Amino acid sequence: MARILVVDDAEMIRVFFSTLLAQQGHEVVTAGDGVEAVDLFRKQPADLVFMDIFMPRQEGLATITELLKIRPSLPIVAMSAGSSFTDLETLSWAKDFGARKVITKPLDVDEVLESITSLLGAARR
Protein backbone atom coordinates (compact mmCIF):
# COMPACT_ATOMS: atom_id res chain seq x y z
CA MET A 1 0.00 0.00 0.00
CA ALA A 2 1.00 3.66 0.26
CA ARG A 3 2.92 5.81 2.72
CA ILE A 4 0.68 8.76 3.58
CA LEU A 5 1.76 11.90 5.43
CA VAL A 6 -0.99 13.63 7.43
CA VAL A 7 -0.25 17.18 8.52
CA ASP A 8 -2.65 18.77 11.01
CA ASP A 9 -2.22 20.60 14.30
CA ALA A 10 -5.28 18.82 15.77
CA GLU A 11 -4.26 15.54 17.37
CA MET A 12 -7.81 14.22 16.92
CA ILE A 13 -7.47 14.58 13.13
CA ARG A 14 -4.08 12.84 13.10
CA VAL A 15 -5.51 9.95 15.15
CA PHE A 16 -8.55 9.73 12.84
CA PHE A 17 -6.32 9.42 9.78
CA SER A 18 -3.88 7.03 11.45
CA THR A 19 -6.68 4.68 12.49
CA LEU A 20 -8.63 4.85 9.24
CA LEU A 21 -5.68 4.51 6.89
CA ALA A 22 -3.94 1.79 8.88
CA GLN A 23 -7.17 -0.24 8.62
CA GLN A 24 -6.88 0.19 4.84
CA GLY A 25 -3.32 -1.15 4.89
CA HIS A 26 -1.50 2.16 4.46
CA GLU A 27 1.54 3.33 6.39
CA VAL A 28 0.74 6.65 8.06
CA VAL A 29 3.21 9.29 9.20
CA THR A 30 1.86 12.38 10.99
CA ALA A 31 3.10 15.90 11.67
CA GLY A 32 1.61 18.68 13.79
CA ASP A 33 2.77 21.58 11.60
CA GLY A 34 4.45 22.41 8.32
CA VAL A 35 8.00 22.59 9.65
CA GLU A 36 7.73 19.09 11.09
CA ALA A 37 6.06 17.86 7.87
CA VAL A 38 8.86 19.03 5.60
CA ASP A 39 11.47 17.51 7.92
CA LEU A 40 9.62 14.17 8.02
CA PHE A 41 9.10 14.19 4.25
CA ARG A 42 12.82 14.65 3.65
CA LYS A 43 13.57 11.68 5.93
CA GLN A 44 10.63 9.47 4.90
CA PRO A 45 9.10 10.54 1.57
CA ALA A 46 5.38 9.89 1.26
CA ASP A 47 3.25 8.86 -1.70
CA LEU A 48 0.42 11.24 -0.76
CA VAL A 49 -0.07 14.11 1.69
CA PHE A 50 -3.17 15.36 3.50
CA MET A 51 -2.42 18.97 4.50
CA ASP A 52 -4.31 21.20 6.90
CA ILE A 53 -4.16 24.86 5.91
CA PHE A 54 -4.23 26.70 9.25
CA MET A 55 -1.44 25.54 11.60
CA PRO A 56 1.15 27.08 13.92
CA ARG A 57 4.80 27.67 12.95
CA GLN A 58 4.23 27.10 9.22
CA GLU A 59 0.82 27.04 7.58
CA GLY A 60 -0.32 24.73 4.83
CA LEU A 61 0.12 26.91 1.74
CA ALA A 62 3.81 27.50 2.48
CA THR A 63 4.25 23.82 3.28
CA ILE A 64 2.61 22.76 0.00
CA THR A 65 5.08 25.00 -1.81
CA GLU A 66 8.07 23.47 0.01
CA LEU A 67 6.96 19.89 -0.52
CA LEU A 68 6.37 20.44 -4.23
CA LYS A 69 9.89 21.89 -4.56
CA ILE A 70 11.17 18.58 -3.19
CA ARG A 71 8.86 16.44 -5.35
CA PRO A 72 6.86 18.36 -7.98
CA SER A 73 4.59 15.40 -8.77
CA LEU A 74 3.55 14.82 -5.14
CA PRO A 75 -0.24 14.51 -4.80
CA ILE A 76 -1.48 16.76 -1.98
CA VAL A 77 -4.99 17.04 -0.55
CA ALA A 78 -5.60 20.34 1.25
CA MET A 79 -8.03 20.36 4.19
CA SER A 80 -9.75 23.04 6.21
CA ALA A 81 -12.98 23.68 8.04
CA GLY A 82 -15.59 24.78 5.55
CA SER A 83 -17.50 26.90 8.01
CA SER A 84 -16.51 30.33 6.75
CA PHE A 85 -15.92 32.10 3.46
CA THR A 86 -12.27 32.62 4.35
CA ASP A 87 -11.65 28.90 4.83
CA LEU A 88 -13.34 28.02 1.54
CA GLU A 89 -11.48 30.77 -0.30
CA THR A 90 -8.20 29.53 1.17
CA LEU A 91 -8.94 26.02 -0.03
CA SER A 92 -9.32 27.35 -3.56
CA TRP A 93 -5.94 29.08 -3.13
CA ALA A 94 -4.48 25.72 -2.10
CA LYS A 95 -5.23 24.43 -5.60
CA ASP A 96 -3.39 27.43 -7.03
CA PHE A 97 -0.42 26.47 -4.83
CA GLY A 98 -0.45 22.92 -6.21
CA ALA A 99 -2.88 20.86 -4.13
CA ARG A 100 -4.57 18.34 -6.41
CA LYS A 101 -7.73 18.13 -4.33
CA VAL A 102 -9.39 20.01 -1.49
CA ILE A 103 -11.73 18.66 1.17
CA THR A 104 -13.57 20.35 3.99
CA LYS A 105 -13.81 19.45 7.65
CA PRO A 106 -15.60 17.77 9.22
CA LEU A 107 -14.05 14.97 7.23
CA ASP A 108 -16.12 12.41 5.39
CA VAL A 109 -14.60 8.90 5.45
CA ASP A 110 -15.78 8.10 1.92
CA GLU A 111 -14.32 11.35 0.56
CA VAL A 112 -10.97 10.69 2.25
CA LEU A 113 -10.79 7.16 0.84
CA GLU A 114 -11.90 8.30 -2.62
CA SER A 115 -9.17 10.94 -2.57
CA ILE A 116 -6.56 8.28 -1.92
CA THR A 117 -7.88 5.98 -4.63
CA SER A 118 -8.17 8.67 -7.28
CA LEU A 119 -4.87 10.44 -6.58
CA LEU A 120 -2.72 7.37 -6.09
CA GLY A 121 -4.32 5.68 -9.08
CA ALA A 122 -3.55 8.75 -11.21
CA ALA A 123 0.02 8.90 -9.90
CA ARG A 124 0.64 5.26 -10.77
CA ARG A 125 -0.68 5.58 -14.34
Q: Using CA atoms, how far apart are residues 53 and 42, in angstroms rounded to an integer?
A: 20
Q: What is the pTM for the complete model shown?
A: 0.91
Average pLDDT, the chain: 91
pLDDT category, 93, cuts 50, 70, 90? confident
Mean pLDDT value across residues 98-111: 94
pLDDT category, 32, cuts 50, 70, 90? very high
Mean pLDDT value across residues 98-124: 90
Q: Structural domain boundaries of the chain?
A: 3-124
Mean pLDDT value across residues 10-20: 96
Question: Where does 3-124 sit in CATH, by number?
Answer: 3.40.50.2300
Percent of the chain with pLDDT over 70: 90
User: Which residue has better confidence, 30 or 121?
Assistant: 30
Q: Which residues contact 8 (CB under 8 A, 6 or more apart)?
A: 14, 17, 30, 32, 50, 52, 55, 79
- Report pLDDT for 71: 98
pLDDT category, 15, cuts 50, 70, 90? very high
Q: How far is CA 12 from the centre of its chain?
A: 15
- Report pLDDT for 82: 55
Q: Is the pLDDT of residue 83 over 80?
A: no
Q: Is the pLDDT of residue 59 over 80?
A: yes
